[in-house]
Amino acid sequence: MEDEPNPALRIDDPARVAAVASTGLLDTPREEAFDRLTRLASDLIGAPMVFVTLVDDEVSFWKSTTGVDDVTGPRRAPADESFCRFVVTTGAEQVIPDTREDVRTKAMAAVETMNIKAWAGIPIRAAGGDVLGTFCAMDVRPREWTHGQLEILRTLSQAAGGEIALRMALQEARVASAAAERHAADAERHAERAERSAAEATELAETLQQSLLPAGNPRIPGMEVAARYRPGGGGAEVLGDFYDVFPVPGGWGVVVGDVCGKGPWAARTTALARSTVRAVGHTEDDTGAVLAALNDVLHVWFAGRHSFVTATYATMTAADEGLHTVVVNGGHPPAFLLRADGEVGQFAVGGRALGLRSDASVGREEECLRPGDSLVFYTDGVTESRPPGSTDQFGEDGIARVLASLPRASSAETVAEAVSRAALDHAGGQVSDDTAIVVVRSPQIYTIPEPA
C-alpha cells in the first residue's frame, strides 16, 4: 500500500507537533503498558521487531520496542530518516513488503543498519485526529503482510492510542486536582470547582465508555437488532461491559462481554477484547475459534495479572427455516431464546472465563432462529441488579418472567426495553454495575444479504 503525501499533512504541522508534545511521552522511559502491546503484536503476527513511536517535527521516538533490546543510547531516529514519516505525511497506514524494492525506502540507512526488509505502520491518533506516531512491525526478510496481521496491528494501534488518551486524561485530572487544592482556602470556590471537576470527570468517563461501544446498531434487512446500555454507579469510573454487532463470513456476528475490573485498566481491556473479536470474526468462520483467539490475546495481555473476561459470541447465517445460529460461551451468563409462540428457553452455561489460562474452554450450542424468534444477550449487571441495601437480585428468573409476560411477536426494541426497565425498577432506579442487553429478532423468512 502506497499513499501519496497529503499536501495538507506536514510533518512540522504546528497543531500536530503540539499534540505530540502534549502527550508528555517524548524521551520518557519504557513502560510496561506499551511494552505489553508490542510483545503481544510480535507474538501474534510473528514479527521480530515491533515499535510504538511518537513522531514530532525532528525525531521519531521509540516509546516501546521488541527485538532491539540491545540498542544503546537514545531510542530515537531523525524524523526524516524514519519510515514513520510516511504514515505522518499521508495520514494513513503504510505497508511495505520489501523495503529494498520500494522507491521510498530502498536508499534509507535503516534498511541495512537495522536490517529492516519489510515494514508495516499503522497511525496512532490523538483524540482530535492528529497522527501522534505509529504502531509498526518489521521483519528481517521480505514478507507479504496478511489482512489478519494488519487487523491485529490496527487493533493494537487503537489500544496504544487509548493508553495515551487515558494518560492525558489522568494528567489533566491531577492538574485540576492540584489547582483545586491550591485554592482550598476559598471554601465556596473550592466546592464549586470540585463539583465542576466531578461533573467533568463523569462526562469524561461517559465519553470514554461510549467510545468503547458501537456508534449504532447496523440495519440488517430481515433482521431486528436492539440494544440497551446503562453505565453503573453514576460516577467517574469506566466499567467493563461491551457489545458489538458486525459482519462475518456469510452473515452477522454478535458479541456481549464483561471485563473483570473498572477504571482505566477495564477500559484498555474492553477496547482490546471488542476489537479482537471483530478483527478475528471478520475472517474466521469457526465461531469457537474466535473466542479461542480472544483467550490467547487476553492471556498474553494479562501477563500474570489476575483478571479475566467473560463473553458470549454468536453468528447467524441464512437457512431454509430461518437463521442458523451458533452460540459459543466463555463463562458468560447464558443467553435466552424467546420463541415466537411465547415459549422461553435458555442456553446452557458453558465454557471458562477467558484469559485465565493459555488453553481456551468454550461451550457451543446451535439453534435455528425461526420467524418471530428472539435471542436475548445480557451482562451480569442485569441479573445482579438489586435495591440499595438488599440482597434480592433481579436474577435470571427476573429476565425469564419479563420475557414470558411480553405479547407474542414483540419487536426487538420492545424486548430490550422491557428487560432493561424491569431490572432498573427492581434496583430502585439506580444500577450499581453496568448493564448491557442486546436482542436479535428474526421477523420473517429471508436470506441475509452478504455484508458489504
Whether the per-residue pLDDT at 390 is higher than 70: the answer is: yes
Contact between 231 and 209 (Cβ < 8 Å): yes
Evaluate if residue 174 carries a pLDDT over 70. no
pLDDT, tens digit, for every residue of 25-77?
A: 999 998 888 898 898 889 889 999 999 999 999 999 999 999 886 555 678 89
Q: Which residues contact 158 (CB under 8 A, 6 or more apart)?
A: 271, 275
Residue 337 has pLDDT above 90, yes or no: yes
% helix / strand / coil in the chain, to the nearest 5?
Answer: 35, 25, 40
- The answer to whether 386 touches 398, Cβ cutoff 8 Å, is no
Q: What is the rounded CA–CA span in Å between residue 142 and residue 257? A: 38
Query: What per-residue confidence (pLDDT) applies to 202?
Result: 45
What are the b/e assignments for 264-273, b being 16+ CB within 10 Å? bbbbbbbbbb
**How does residue 182 score in pLDDT terms, banded at 50, 70 and 90?**
low
Q: Is the pLDDT of residue 172 over 70?
A: no
Average pLDDT, rounded, for the chain: 83
Looking at the domain covering 14-166, what would its CATH class be? alpha beta
Please report the beta strands in 379-434, taking only residues with DSSP state E, as ranges in sequence order.
none
222 vs 68, residue with greater confidence: 68
Q: What is the CATH number of domain 217-441?
A: 3.60.40.10
Per-residue pLDDT tens for 87-141? 999 999 999 999 999 999 999 999 999 999 999 999 999 877 889 999 999 999 9
Confidence label for 344 from pLDDT (cuts 50, 70 and 90): very high
When pLDDT is averaged across residues 287-295 and rounded to a whole number, the result is 91
The DSSP string of 166-218 is HHHHHHHHHHHHHHHHHTTTSHHHHHHHHHHHHHHHHHHHHHHHHHTS-SSPP
pTM over 0.75: no
What confidence score (pLDDT) does residue 266 get? 76
Copy the grid coordinates of residue 336: 435466552
**Every domain of the chain and the residues it spans:** 14-166, 217-441
